[in-house]
């Protein structure tokens, strides 16, 4: 037996739903057919992808690692299959939050002027790699350290960190703050796509109370609603001003690198043009002496 695309689609349906029943409904197959296809894939790969030992299915470590590779393969196939029905091949640029900050409009307009034959689609995806690792986009604007295997990055600039506070907070009108001044507060942490962790604080002044959120909108709601304070970068302050929000510079927090990332291997042919323009619009303006 050889692995076919249907095996990948079946596994991805199971990975998305964590249920053979729901995967079968999505694929319009019977449950035995889905189970049989999964077993064939596992046997051919020689690894176990799904743990069936509990009441609820779960991906094994091999399953988690294989999921992104399978998604990339299916996305590439679907993209190639649909090529003949397109008049152009869009370049998909992902971001998890704030895109290129205030340079976003310039980047998009310059691209449209200089490469009108290739639409540049900006997509927000709440994921650490903004969908790049699983093949949802061709390139991504990301912040912080990028550790996902198979990705190549180039740094464009850095952004200073700022504290996010309710506008009526006693510290909101300060010219600047230190991290230790936030240590006794509840901190909102975006564990899905954010770059702030408790390791940012000194060990002797680490906040004891946190709440976990999954995207920038929920982060803003938590802060403006008075549930927590947070740490972000200047791009959030520029892109997401809010009358109930105050952004205050932090004096002792290291800046956050902003990188452009793409997959190592076959890629969209316009990636080099995007890299050059991103360095010109974002990097040079911010990094000049």
Phi, psi dihedrals of residue 50, rounded to the nearest 5°:
-125, 130
How high is the pLDDT of residue 54?
63
| pLDDT for residue 241 is more than 50 | yes
Q: Which CATH fold topology does 5-83 show?
A: Arc Repressor Mutant, subunit A (1.10.10)
Average pLDDT, stretch 106-111? Answer: 96
> Would you put residue 127 in left (φ > 0), alpha (ψ -120 to 50) or beta?
beta
Q: What is the pLDDT of residues 123-140, one digit of tens each?
A: 999 989 998 888 889 999
CATH number attached to the domain at 87-156+257-287: 3.40.190.10
d(CA 23, CA 242): 42
Assigned architecture for domain 161-254: 3-Layer(aba) Sandwich (3.40)
Entry pTM: 0.73
How high is the pLDDT of residue 86?
53
Average pLDDT, stretch 213-227? Answer: 95
Higher pLDDT, 87 or 247: 247
| pLDDT for residue 111 is more than 80 | yes
CATH 1.10.10.10 domain extents, the chain: 5-83
Binned at pLDDT 50, 70 and 90, residue 286 comes out as low
Q: What is the pLDDT of residues 250-259, one digit of tens each?
A: 999 999 999 9
Using a pLDDT cut of 70, give the percent of the chain over it: 93
């Amino acid at each position: 037996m050889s692995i076919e695309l249907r095996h990948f689609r079946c596994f991805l349906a199971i990975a998305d739903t964590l249920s053979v029943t729901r995967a079968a409904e999505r694929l319009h197959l019977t449950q035995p057919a889905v189970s049989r296809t999964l077993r064939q894939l596992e046997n051919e790969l020689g690894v176990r992808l799904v743990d069936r030992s509990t009441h609820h299915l779960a991906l094994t470590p091999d399953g988690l690692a294989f999921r992104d590779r399978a998604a990339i393969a299916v996305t590439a196939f679907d993209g190639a299959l649909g090529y003949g029905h397109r008049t152009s091949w869009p370049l998909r640029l992902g971001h998890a939050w704030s895109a290129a900050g205030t340079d976003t409009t310039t980047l998009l307009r310059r691209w449209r002027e200089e490469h009108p034959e290739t639409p540049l689609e900006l997509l927000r995806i709440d994921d650490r790699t903004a969908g790049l690792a699983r093949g949802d986009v061709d390139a991504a604007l990301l912040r912080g350290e990028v550790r996902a295997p198979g990705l190549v990055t180039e740094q464009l600039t850095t952004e200073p960190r700022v504290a996010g506070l309710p506008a009526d907070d006693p510290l909101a009108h300060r010219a600047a703050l230190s991290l230790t001044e936030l240590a006794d507060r509840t901190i909102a942490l975006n564990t899905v796509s954010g770059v702030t962790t408790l390791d940012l604080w000194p060990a002797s002044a680490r906040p004891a109370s946190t709440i976990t959120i999954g995207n920038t909108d929920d982060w803003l709601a938590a802060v403006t609603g008075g549930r927590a304070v947070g740490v972000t970068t200047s791009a959030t302050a520029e892109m997401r001003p809010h009358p109930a929000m105050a952004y205050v510079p932090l004096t002792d927090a290291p800046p956050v690198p902003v990188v452009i990332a793409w997959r190592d291997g076959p890629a969209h042919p316009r990636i080099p043009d995007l890299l050059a323009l991103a360095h010109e619009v974002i990097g040079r303006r911010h990094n000049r002496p």
